[in-house]
Amino acid sequence: MKYIEEARQVLNDEARALQVLAESLGEEFERTIDCLLNIPGRIAVTGMGKSGHVARKIAATLASTGSPAFFIHPAEASHGDLGMMTGRDAVIAISNSGNTAELTDIVLYASENRLPLIAITKNADSFLGKHCDHLLLQPQLHEACPLDCAPTTSTTVQMALGDALAMCLLTARGFRKEDFRRFHPGGSLGQKLSLVRDIMHSGEAMPFARPDTPMMDVLGEMTRKGFGCVGVLEGGRIVGIITDGDLRRHMGPNILESTAADLMTRNPVCIEPEALSAKAEGIMEQRKIMCMFVVDEERRPLGILSRHDL
């Protein structure tokens, strides 16, 4: 347990820095958001060393939340990568001291080509602080490192400030969960944000019967399609559903003399095609059902969804 107090001190120092940062935000932050919203191009994010690692993350967060962005390495920029930027872009430059030598060429390029330059630094009187269009100052606090050397508090503040910029831009652009899903098709988050229409079975895969269909034929359709249910159609609309559970509940010597209308559950739960798959999963869990039809506004069937699909 001898390291717990030191670990808590580090976390408390960084948490306090974030609180100070939050309280320091003002009109300059608002102007920065307006600037980034109005550029016709992309956001180039740059930094050296630890600030460079933070810049990569900020660029990735911006790009995935509706603000096209990319990371540009300041050393490589001086050897040709300045050509990655156009007159339609803006630059976010990150430097704790504001005097990082490798950033000089990017700052000069932005000035010569009239690219808006946003600086994230703790030194307003630095080269970067004096030659930027928008200055986002980091709090003047010591690092959480006991030697006050390793970038800790400063990089936490930089990262958080980048997140704040990205989330404000996300909100201003009206970025939605559906948009997020388009940029994150892989992984568990992408799966939860997938739409019902993307994973439903449609066409000949859907099992159907009419209200007057004999139960022998209903059983045949249920077996062939393999969903453990059959939708009952009348006038092209879903009016009922028969599941294998319904068959068990009505099992008896005369069941084959019945029709679909005799056994079906009327007005079954259905879902719209634009719903999130997470919503479909929640409905199935709550209702204890294994399948659900996907319908349009007139309850015409468009597809079928099973718990296994989810």
* Residue 206, token pair as written in the block: 């859907």
> Which pLDDT band, with edges at 50, 70 and 90, does 245 fall under?
confident
Rounded CA-CA distance 111/103 in Å is 12
State both tokens at 248.
């068990």
Q: What is the pLDDT of residues 156-177, one digit of tens each?
A: 999 999 999 999 999 999 998 7
pLDDT band at 151 (very low <50, low <70, confident <90, very high): very high
Cα separation, 172 vs 145, in Å, equals 36
pTM recorded for the entire structure: 0.67
241 burial class (0-12, 13-18, 19+ CB within 10 angstroms)?
Answer: buried
Q: What are phi and psi of 94, to 5 degrees?
A: -120, 125
**pLDDT tens, position by position, 60-80:** 999 999 999 999 999 999 999
Unique residue bearing structure tokens 């056994």: 263
pLDDT score of 190 more than 70: no
Spatial separation of the C-alpha atoms in residues 53 and 66, rounded to whole Å: 21
Name the maximum alpha-carbon separation found in the chain. 91
Task: Find the length of the chain.
Answer: 310
pLDDT value for 112: 95
User: Which of left, alpha, beta for 64 (phi over 0: left; psi -120 to 50: alpha)?
Assistant: alpha
Local confidence band at 247 (pLDDT 50, 70, 90 cut-offs): confident
pLDDT band at 195 (very low <50, low <70, confident <90, very high): confident
3-state secondary structure 249-299: HCCCCCHHHCEHHHHCEECCCEECCCCEHHHHHHHHHHHCCCEEEEECCCC
Residue 302: Cβ within 10 Å count = 18
- In 3D, which of 288, 273, 205 has the Cα closest to residue 243? 288
Give tens-digit pLDDT for 254-276: 888 899 999 999 999 999 999 98
Task: Return the DSSP state at 2.
Answer: T
Domains recognised in the chain with CATH numbers: 4-175 (3.40.50.10490), 196-309 (3.10.580.10)
